[in-house]
Structure 1
Amino acid sequence: MRSMLIAPFCLTALLGACAEMGTDVDPILDGPPNAQFQSDLSACRSLARSQTQLDHETLAAIVLGAGIGGLLGEADEGDALGGALAGAVAGAAAGVAGAADTREAVVLNCLRGRGHAVVN
């Protein structure tokens, strides 16, 4: 029963701790930044922050992790619930990492769209 209380807390903490992931990218420019660069970077980071981390891909990773964890937990120790909870946390971590990559791409593509020569 205790593990049932810990898993939602872990998921919430993971998503909260990763709120800025992907938006703090420091782009490499091909040439010096122009006067508008800092303003555009701030706006692009704000746009990236508006992209939710708890999207359908993250939810799918949580469900898949829970399913695999439940099967492994049952087969190994007879604890399907504990395995499912551990798998859900692992799936959430993977989903959040993917969302961070998406946010980073948003920042870089936004800057490119505003005319900045972004290399990475």
Structure 2
Amino acid sequence: MLAAILLFSTSKMLIPREKIAAVGGAAAQWILDFSPGALRAIGTLEILAAAGLILPAALDIAPILVPITATCVAMLFTGAAIMRLRRGERATIAPDLVYLALAAFLAWGRFGPESFTG
């Protein structure tokens, strides 16, 4: 589910940021604070994260990359939550916190009790 969310959010690389801001309402105004290059970089990281959450375990090649990627995704959403707090968007921070919790839970589970290597 987390990988699907990350893939969906890469639409910021394909759709003009002005259109996203107009359609997304108050929750999407943050996108205007970033340059198109920065949005492409964020989108690229999200594509790589989605691949890192699924492919290592599915292909059984370096499955330790799954919890490492989940930790990085947790840091990505920590940054998103901080950005929303700085912008004063407390009402729209809930999804970022949910995704942060999902990523942290996945990292904890794959490093510990449900490790692929154990």
Q: Same fold (TM over 0.5)?
A: no
| TM-score normalised according to structure 2 size | 0.34
Structure with bigger gyration radius? 1
* Richer in helix (by share): 2
